[in-house]
A = this chain, B = another copy of it.
Amino acid sequence: MATKSAPDSTRRSERSRRAIYDAAMDLVTEVGYGKLTIEAIAARAGVGKQTIYRWWPSKGAVLLDAFLDLGAQATQEASDAAGHETTQYEIPDTGDLETDLKNVVRSTIDEFKNPKYDAPWRALAAEGMINPELSAEYVEKLLEPSLQLFVKRLEIAKEAGQVAPHVDPRIALELWSGPLAQRWLQRTGPLTHEYGDKLVEYALYGIAPR
């Protein structure tokens, strides 16, 4: 993060990096990931292409860092708004697991539908599918931390007796994260709040009669 005490050169490279992220995100939306080139990102960002090659090995790596930066910005904004450093985002605990999960799932569905991020996010996921190194970084830095928020919430629910003792929270969360990812990535059906609610209900209570 650039701060008021950062030297000019740090602030300049901070600005360049953000310009590169914005250029990469916008260009994926405009021309598609297949036609995205480092040259075009450099031209749009107003930097030399060597600047990009110095920092990133591939266009997929630029996109991954762009999303990580968005996350860092969101945390920074939350800290600024709170007037102090915020701890990492947590899934709210109202004591009602079903409601808490439905709310997070609904927000996730809304995020999937944000047209600003749809094309670059898909591109990153698609690149990860055929590129194991990028995939490992994507999962470790971006996907797994967000899934761990569910693990934490499910552990709390377990202690409160709302999740059965034998259940593995890291697997349980996939009952909704998996279907959401599949509908989003593979376009197998509509992503609606009603659909998200049903996933949470089926996951909590099962599809066999109680």
- Listed in ascending order, the chain A residues whose CB lies under 8 Å from chain B are 32-34, 97, 119, 122-123, 125-130, 132, 135-136, 138-139, 143-144, 147, 154, 161-165, 167-168, 170-172, 174-175, 177-183, 185-189, 195, 198-199, 202-210
Contact = CB atoms under 8 A, between A and B. Distances in A.
- Lowest 5 A-B CB distances belong to which pairs? A206-B206, A178-B178, A178-B179, A174-B179, A126-B129
Of A129, A170, A182, A207, which is in contact with the most chain B CB atoms at under 10 Å from its CB? Answer: A207
A192 to B, nearest CB: 11
8 contacts: A34-B130, A164-B209, A167-B202, A171-B179, A174-B188, A203-B206, A204-B207, A205-B206
Contacts of A127: 126
Contact of A182 (B126, B132, B177): B177
Contacts of A183: 174, 178
Contacts of A161: 209
A187 B122 contact: no
Contacts of A123: 130
Of A119, A138, A209, which is in contact with the most chain B CB atoms at under 10 Å from its CB? Answer: A209
A20 to B, nearest CB: 21
Nearest to A180: B178
A178 B186 CA distance: 10
A201 to B, nearest CB: 9
B187 A135 contact: yes
Contacts of A189: 170
A171 B195 CA distance: 8
A181 B162 CA distance: 28
A187 B130 contact: no
B207 A167 contact: yes
B125 A187 contact: no
B122 A130 contact: yes
A60 to B, nearest CB: 10
B163 A174 contact: no
